[in-house]
């Protein structure tokens, strides 16, 4: 192993050397791909397949509704069709599509060679593919979810949906959400740590700011949904009555958990599209984005506000008016940061020399359609109006104006804009314009009329309607419009294929953009940049035509190769000063294998082969541990030259390497899930009928004390281990013993102080909280043992304590969360006893 | 491992005020629901002012004070990205605090 | 207004609550049209007429359009809407006539605790015209939503909970009602009828009302 990089005499030589290191192999090696180019494209293509399936379902809906009493679909099938349409569009199309786009674009825009955790993105992709596959297989098999895309319980409970339809949704979508969580962590760490030197936060291309905020929102937004799905599946499978009003549960808890995710979700979908607009509009205006800092402030504000309006989906649930007013006001207020962005784009256009071209046509589509969606959104935010419009076709119209205007049109603009990057070919406009106008006209015909249909009283999710209600002509026209739109989408697809196949080749930077992704060969090489640039200004006002050739000539950072490592630079979050050389893992089949095992776990639950689920979980754990030998160092290297006369340590020796941040963010998501669970139990006490329970239980002081002491010991020893570094084995052994004691305490507690968890939601909540603590203690135990293993294998030295520091984060969190968990049953029992008001 | 990076915190100024808003949101909503559950809306302190309303108003005042404190603290930062963006976000949070919660003064509570 | 009628049209109100919401809708629609025209018009002007709007600084654009334009509109609108919501919710326990609505898959049934001797009616809700009615809604199975568009907004029927809705039919007549929350395969057909009788004849009409499903 050598610290000195190997220099290359010319660009061709350099390309060969880098390509040999970075490229994905042929044949079965493709299944081992981890490169962001490959994974990003796979995400996007798969999402488009799902968009097609969802679109076909939409056409079935419109065919059914074209006439009043259509015999085409029976009510049961219709329910599957609209549920799957919504589910596919939201979970399997929109989110994965922008994830793929971010995976593909972010490293390039940031001046990095790949994402921070390439194997994780591959694993996320397989989880997405398999989870989506399960859901679509259920559709083919006629047992698809059928309770609507928000799966309200009790309709989705065991009693009213006895088949596996609801389980398919709960398990399949949770499986898919693994990919959202991995993408969130991946994007956060990549944007924060893997940038070109000199790219301080305030020089990041604006798209990176959008994705940073979106990833943060995903980190906080998805856990409530995942929690809700776990709880509902636990109710369906094991009878824990979290949502069953006859046993102290509450269907409203599901609505809170779902919409606490579901509304931010809409902004999670919109913001990447807005990021695209903030990138494209300045390029076509020929001037930098106006008010960069104001836009950053607007998206941060929007992110927060979007978490304060979930109850606007529950205005009709009988919640007190003052509470509704909080949510109503926040819903109205979120229009302000939206308007700020819209006027930033208008201001940019006003101060530039706009060129009109096909992407701009879709930007026009965005402006018209999204503004209507935004205006109807403000209307729906007004409580009294929503009391009328809620659950009607007015809402269907509104949500499509927002989603198609705020996502599909910008994505089509993005497709036309970045297709040259993906394929190296430039548009030849034959079909593009007519395709756009067909989508645009068809869309408006379909959905504009639906506002009126809804106000005239047509509820959503009905498969037929009385002929004399006066809705037939409107519905018929909507259906005609939808077929025009479908043909338009087909033309867009054809057009894009033609461009990819027959477009004109170009040299570089066809749109005269100022971002780094154009400073590389197109279609891109696996390694992207032959050398990493130094950034000295805002990274959307660069000159790719100048930077590109320089980088190809190896003038920049990491222009050589070293030990066959896949290297990219890590920087200080705020300043962008390089602080480590991040060495990325090679292609491997492990992500695929791990995802298959994960799929086995979910299938075991789905088909109720419960004995197999823990086995698969164990296999997943074992496979994840197999990921690790590739990472880390067994000897201290000291500073490595990175070019331009500078040096930086290997990430294993760095102060804040990506994996440490990944653990911080993972724990943030985990903590959100936990807090949602605790709040959920509190909510049940507040709101659910049939409280207090007959049996309270909740206290077993010796067990609680044992558990807490064990956790404290484990955390203390985790800290000691970091100080001892290579001599950490005794501390880690003591930590493992602490966890053993903690697990014993938790089990003892569950045994003696827990009433029957199927009898009442209070006991079920206690069981859930204890299970959470037990799971964390179990993982903590594995981490302590893993630490011992890494020390023994020589991965740890005073300079290289990363493994132990990651462990310490987990042990600290587990001590806090577990301590709360052990006290929680007593607290809940006390609340239930004293707050027992009629 | 070279010396500590000489960078100032960037995210704290940007996130602080709205984090207070978010925590305050949950606290107000939780307090309102708890108050209704425990019957605090039935005890009147002054004519028309129930215990619950008073508690909510006090909580709101506390929140507003905290957000304003953040704004004042940020004004002392040196000029730059963190200050500009932080101030803009914090002013938005201050406005949002008034805008979203002023229902506690006059709307029906339970 | 033409094209807005129908037995279930929220735009053809037959009572003060639906009326006030319809007014809110028309006001918002009137406000939305110029806002829409403004944004799209500005987009087209800036793109098609280079140089348009250059006199206003970029910051100026953002402040004018992003803050000065929406904030007053939203504040006024929100205040008005909350005021209206308060009006519709009213205070509990006022002089309203009490009615109980029970939902179960495919069927609504109504009980009349304030009208002694009245039967439980299924699929038909009898109301006195011109009198405020407070309907307590609940469900026996899954979540449904009670909606009579011409009289006022909807309220969910949630198992384990009781929700309240106040309605007032101005004049005698018949109005359509539907279940608005998806509740299974019978959701589409979960309709009911509201009959508003002249106040004087209400008790008599109710007494001879049929119980069974229609
Ligand atoms: C391609 C053109 C599309 C058409 C013609 C279409 C049509 C429809 C219709 C008619 C409904 C109402 C079904 C009912 O209430 O009975 C519906 C529901 C829905 N659509 Fe679409 N849609 C389209 C695209 C999209 C897109 C792109 C998205 C999201 C990104 C989307 C998301 C939804 C959702 C979430 C629902 C609610 C489903 C439910 O009620 O459970 N749709 N769509
Ligand atoms: Cu929402
Ligand atoms: Cu229904």
CATH assignment of the domain containing A786? 1.20.120.80
Ligand 2 centre to CA of A401 (Å) is 14
Candidates A53, A82, A261, A486: which one to mutate for ligand 1, based on the most atoms within 8 Å of Cβ?
A82
Contact A88, A54 (CB under 8 A): yes
**SS3 at position C166:** strand
Q: How many domains does chain A have?
A: 1
Percent with pLDDT over 70 in chain C: 95
What does the alpha-carbon distance between residue A229 and residue A480 come to, in Å, rounded to a whole number? 37
End-to-end Cα separation, chain B, in angstroms:
58
Return the ligand 1 atom nearest residue A150 CA. 41
> What subunits make at least 3 CB pairs under 8 angstroms with C?
A, B
> Which residues in chain A have their CB less than 8 angstroms from residue C56's CB?
347, 350
> Tokens 């005073």 identify what position?
A798
- Restricting to A residues 68-97, those with a Cβ less than 8 Å away from any Cβ of C are 75-76, 79
B33/A687 CB distance under 8 A? yes
| Number of Cβ within a 10 Å radius of residue C56 | 17
Report CA dihedral (A774, A779, A785, A789) to the nearest 10 degrees: 170
pTM of this structure = 0.96
C53/A452 CB distance under 8 A? no
> Tokens 């279940």 identify what position?
C179
Give a yes or no: residue A413 inside a domain. Answer: no
Residues 6 or more apart from A710 whose CB is under 8 A from it?
A738, A739, A740, A741, A742, A743, A744, A745, A777
Q: What is the pLDDT of residue C53?
A: 86
> Which residues in chain A have their CB less than 8 angstroms from residue B100's CB?
308, 325-326, 329-330, 333
Structure tokens at A586: 């090679």
Distances (CA, A) of A621 to A125, A590, A627: 18, 12, 10
The answer to whether residue B73 scores a pLDDT higher than 80 is yes
Strands (E), A29-83: none
C77/A378 CB distance under 8 A? yes
- Restricting to C residues 19-48, those with a Cβ less than 8 Å away from any Cβ of A are 20-21, 24-25, 28, 32, 35-36, 39-40, 42-44, 46-48
Among C9, C82, C183, select the one facing A155 at the smallest CB separation: C183
What's the average model confidence in pLDDT over B90-105?
Answer: 92
Q: What is the pLDDT of residue C62?
A: 94
Give a yes or no: residue A772 inside a domain. Answer: yes
Ligand 1 centre to CA of A396 (Å) is 7
| Cβ A394 under 6 angstroms from ligand 1 | no
| Cβ A94 under 6 angstroms from ligand 1 | yes
| Number of Cβ within a 10 Å radius of residue C4 | 14
> What subunits make at least 3 CB pairs under 8 angstroms with B?
A, C
Give a yes or no: residue A704 inside a domain. Answer: yes
Residues of chain A with pLDDT under 50: 838
What does the alpha-carbon distance between residue A700 and residue A256 come to, in Å, rounded to a whole number? 32
Among A350, A391, A459, select the one facing C46 at the smallest CB separation: A350
Q: Domain range for residue A822?
A: 657-834
State whether residue B108 sits within 8 Å of chain C by CB.
yes
C89/B103 CB distance under 8 A? no
- Rounded to a whole number, what is the distance in Å from the CA of B78 to chain A's nearest CA? 15
What does the alpha-carbon distance between residue A742 and residue A765 come to, in Å, rounded to a whole number? 20
Strands (E), A324-429: 425-426
Ligand 2 centre to CA of A260 (Å) is 9
Distances (CA, A) of A242 to A232, A234, A465, A681, A765: 7, 9, 35, 9, 7
C163-181 per-position pLDDT tens digit: 999 999 999 999 999 999 9
Give a yes or no: residue A170 inside a domain. Answer: no
Candidates A72, A268, A400: which one to mutate for ligand 1, based on the most atoms within 8 Å of Cβ?
A400
What's the average model confidence in pLDDT over C147-175?
Answer: 93
Give a yes or no: residue A825 inside a domain. Answer: yes
Among C75, C78, C89, select the one facing B108 at the smallest CB separation: C89
What does the alpha-carbon distance between residue A127 and residue A224 come to, in Å, rounded to a whole number? 19
Among B6, B81, B89, select the one facing A202 at the smallest CB separation: B81
Ranges A117-126, B34-43, C188-197: which has the least confidence = B34-43
Mutate to test the interface with A, among B100, B101, B103, B104 (most CBs of A within 10 A): B100
Candidates A88, A89, A406: which one to mutate for ligand 1, based on the most atoms within 8 Å of Cβ?
A89
- Rounded to a whole number, what is the distance in Å from the CA of B53 to chain A's nearest CA? 10
What does the alpha-carbon distance between residue C130 and residue A323 come to, in Å, rounded to a whole number? 31
What does the alpha-carbon distance between residue A668 and residue A100 come to, in Å, rounded to a whole number? 23
| Cβ A460 under 6 angstroms from ligand 1 | yes
C82/B107 CB distance under 8 A? yes
φ, ψ of residue C93 to 5 degrees: the values are: 70, 25
Contact A429, A510 (CB under 8 A): no
Residues with Cβ within 5 Å of ion ligand 3? Answer: C 144, 179, 183, 187, 190
Give a yes or no: residue A623 inside a domain. Answer: no
The answer to whether residue B1 scores a pLDDT higher than 50 is no
Q: What is the pLDDT of residue C91?
A: 65
Ligand 3 centre to CA of C106 (Å) is 7
Contact C13, A457 (CB under 8 A): no
φ, ψ of residue A282 to 5 degrees: the values are: -60, -35
Give a yes or no: residue A645 inside a domain. Answer: no
Among C75, C78, C86, select the one facing B108 at the smallest CB separation: C86
What does the alpha-carbon distance between residue A122 and residue A43 come to, in Å, rounded to a whole number? 10
* CA-based torsion, A348, A354, A360, A366: positive or negative: positive
Q: What is the pLDDT of residue B7?
A: 56
| Cβ A147 under 6 angstroms from ligand 1 | no
Ligand 3 centre to CA of A105 (Å) is 44
Give a yes or no: residue A808 inside a domain. Answer: yes
ipTM of the complex: 0.96
The DSSP letter of residue C147 is E
Looking at chain B, the number of H-run helices and the number of E-run strands are: 3, 2
Q: What is the pLDDT of residue C207?
A: 87
Candidates A85, A462, A491: which one to mutate for ligand 1, based on the most atoms within 8 Å of Cβ?
A85
> Which residues in chain A have their CB less than 8 angstroms from residue B28's CB?
326
Report CA dihedral (A285, A287, A293, A297) to the nearest 10 degrees: 0
**SS3 at position A829:** helix
> Tokens 């390309």 identify what position?
A15
Largest CA distance in chain B: 67
- Rounded to a whole number, what is the distance in Å from the CA of B23 to chain A's nearest CA? 10
C86/B99 CB distance under 8 A? no
| Partners of residue C103 on adjacent β-strands | C108, C139
Taking CA–CA distances from A800, the nearest residue in chain B reads B1
């Amino acid at each position: 192993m050598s610290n000195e990089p190997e220099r290359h005499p010319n660009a061709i030589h350099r390309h060969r050397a880098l390509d040999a290191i970075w490229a994905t192999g042929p044949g079965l090696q493709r299944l081992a791909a981890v490169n962001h180019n490959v994974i990003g494209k796979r995400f996007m293509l798969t999402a488009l397949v799902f968009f097609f399936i969802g679109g076909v379902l939409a056409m079935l809906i419109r065919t059914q509704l074209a006439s009043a009493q259509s015999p085409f679909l029976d009510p049961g099938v219709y329910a599957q069709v609209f549920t799957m349409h919504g589910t596919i569009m939201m979970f399997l199309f929109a989110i994965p599509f922008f994830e793929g786009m971010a995976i593909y674009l972010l490293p390039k825009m940031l001046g990095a060679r790949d994402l921070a955790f390439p194997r994780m993105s591959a694993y996320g992709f397989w989880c997405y593919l398999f989870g989506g596959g399960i859901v679509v297989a259920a559709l083919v098999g006629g047992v698809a979810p059928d309770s609507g895309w928000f799966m309200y319980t009790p309709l989705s409970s065991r009693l009213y949906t006895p088949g596996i339809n609801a389980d398919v949704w709960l398990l399949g979508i949770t499986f898919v959400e693994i990919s959202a969580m991995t993408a969130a962590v991946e994007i956060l760490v990549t944007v924060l740590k893997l940038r070109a030197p000199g790219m301080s936060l305030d020089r990041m291309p604006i798209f990176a700011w959008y994705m940073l905020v979106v990833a943060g929102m995903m980190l906080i937004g998805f856990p409530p949904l995942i929690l809700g799905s776990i709880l509902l599946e636990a109710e369906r499978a094991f009878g824990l009555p979290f949502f069953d009003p006859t046993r102290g549960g509450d269907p409203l808890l599901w609505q809170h958990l779902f919409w606490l995710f579901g509304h931010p979700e809409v902004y999670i979908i919109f913001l990447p599209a807005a990021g695209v607009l903030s990138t494209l509009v300045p390029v076509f205006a020929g001037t930098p984005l106006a008010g960069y800092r104001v836009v950053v402030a607007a998206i941060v504000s929007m992110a927060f506000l979007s978490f304060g309006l979930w109850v606007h989906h529950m205005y009709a649930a009988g919640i007190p008016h003052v509470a509704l007013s909080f949510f109503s006001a926040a819903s109205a207020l979120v229009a302000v940061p939206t308007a700020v962005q819209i006027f930033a784009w208008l201001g940019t256009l006003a101060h530039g020399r706009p060129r009109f071209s096909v992407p701009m046509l879709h930007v026009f589509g965005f402006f018209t359609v999204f503004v209507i969606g935004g205006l109807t959104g403000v209307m729906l935010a007004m409580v009294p109006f929503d009391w009328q419009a809620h659950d009607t076709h007015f809402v269907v119209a509104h949500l499509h104006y927002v989603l198609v205007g705020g996502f599909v049109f910008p994505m089509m603009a993005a497709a036309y804009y970045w297709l040259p990057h993906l394929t190296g070919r430039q548009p030849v406009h034959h079909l593009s314009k007519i395709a756009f106008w067909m989508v645009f006209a068809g869309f408006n015909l379909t959905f504009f009329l639906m506002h009126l249909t809804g106000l005239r009283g047509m509820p959503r999710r009905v498969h037929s309607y009385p002929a004399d209600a006066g809705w037939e002509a409107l519905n018929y026209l909507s259906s005609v419009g939808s077929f025009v739109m479908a043909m338009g989408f087909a033309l867009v697809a054809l057009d894009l294929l033609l461009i990819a196949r027959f477009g004109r080749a170009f040299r570089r930077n066809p749109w005269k953009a100022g971002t780094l992704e154009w400073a590389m060969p197109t279609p891109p090489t696996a390694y992207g940049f032959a050398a990493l640039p130094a950034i000295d200004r805002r990274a959307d006002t660069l000159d790719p035509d100048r930077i590109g050739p320089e980088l190809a000539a190896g003038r920049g950072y990491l222009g050589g190769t070293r030990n066959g490592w896949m290297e990219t630079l890590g920087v200080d979050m705020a300043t962008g000063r390089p602080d480590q050389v991040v060495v990325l893992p090679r292609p491997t089949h492990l992500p695929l294998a791990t995802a298959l095992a994960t799929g086995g776990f979910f299938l075991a639950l789905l088909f109720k082969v419960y004995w197999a689920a823990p086995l698969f979980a164990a296999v997943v754990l074992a496979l994840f541990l197999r990921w690790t030998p590739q990472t880390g160092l067994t000897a201290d290297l000291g500073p490595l030259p990175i070019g331009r006369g500078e040096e930086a340590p290997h990430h294993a020796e760095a102060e804040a390497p990506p994996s440490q941040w990944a653990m911080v963010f993972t724990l943030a998501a985990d903590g959100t899930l936990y807090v949602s669970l605790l709040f959920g139990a509190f909510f049940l006490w507040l709101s659910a009928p049939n409280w207090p329970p007959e049996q309270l239980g909740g206290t077993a002081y010796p067990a609680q004390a044992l558990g807490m002491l064990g956790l404290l010991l484990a955390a203390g020893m985790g800290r000691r281990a970091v100080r001892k570094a290579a001599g950490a084995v005794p501390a880690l052994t003591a930590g493992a013993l602490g966890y053993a004691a903690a697990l014993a305490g938790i089990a003892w507690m569950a045994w003696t102080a827990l009433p029957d968890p199927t009898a009442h939601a209070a006991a079920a909540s206690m069981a859930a909280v204890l299970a959470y603590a037990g799971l964390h203690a179990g993982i903590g135990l594995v981490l302590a043992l893993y630490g011992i293993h890494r020390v023994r294998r020589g991965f740890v030295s005073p300079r290289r304590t990363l493994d132990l520091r990651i462990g310490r984060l987990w042990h600290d969190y587990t001590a806090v969360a577990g301590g709360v968990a052990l006290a929680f049953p007593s607290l809940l029992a006390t609340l239930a006893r004293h707050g027992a008001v009629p | 491992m070279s010396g500590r990076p000489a960078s100032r915190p960037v995210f704290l100024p940007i996130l602080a005020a709205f984090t207070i808003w978010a925590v305050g949101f949950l606290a107000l909503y939780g307090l309102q629901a708890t108050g209704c559950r425990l019957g605090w809306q039935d005890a009147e302190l002054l004519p028309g002012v129930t215990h619950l309303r008073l508690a909510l108003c006090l909580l709101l005042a506390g929140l507003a004070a905290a957000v304003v404190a953040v704004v004042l603290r940020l004004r002392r930062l040196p000029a730059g990205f963190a200050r500009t963006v932080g101030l803009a976000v914090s002013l938005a949070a201050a406005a949002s605090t008034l805008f979203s919660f002023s229902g506690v003064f006059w709307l029906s509570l339970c | 207004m033409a094209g807005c009628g129908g037995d279930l049209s929220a735009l053809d109100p037959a009572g003060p609550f639906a009326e006030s919401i319809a007014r809110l809708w028309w006001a918002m629609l009137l406000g939305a049209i110029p806002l829409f025209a403004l944004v799209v018009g500005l987009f087209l002007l800036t793109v098609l007429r280079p140089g348009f709007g250059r006199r206003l600084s970029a910051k100026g654009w953002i402040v004018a359009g992003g803050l000065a334009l929406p904030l007053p509109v939203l504040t006024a609108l929100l205040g008005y809407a909350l005021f209206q919501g308060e009006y519709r919710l009213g205070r509990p326990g006022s002089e309203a006539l009490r009615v109980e609505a029970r939902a179960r898959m495919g069927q609504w049934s109504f009980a009349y605790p304030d009208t002694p001797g009245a039967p439980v009616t299924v699929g038909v809700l009898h109301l006195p015209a011109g009198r405020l009615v407070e309907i307590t809604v609940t469900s026996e199975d899954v979540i449904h939503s009670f909606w009579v568009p011409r009289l006022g907004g909807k309220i969910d029927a949630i198992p384990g909970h009781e929700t309240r809705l106040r309605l007032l039919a101005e004049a005698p007549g018949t109005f359509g009602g539907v279940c608005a929350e998806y509740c299974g395969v019978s959701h589409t057909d979960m309709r009911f009828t509201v009959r508003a009788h002249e106040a004087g004849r209400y008790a008599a009409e109710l007494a001879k009302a049929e119980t069974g499903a229609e």
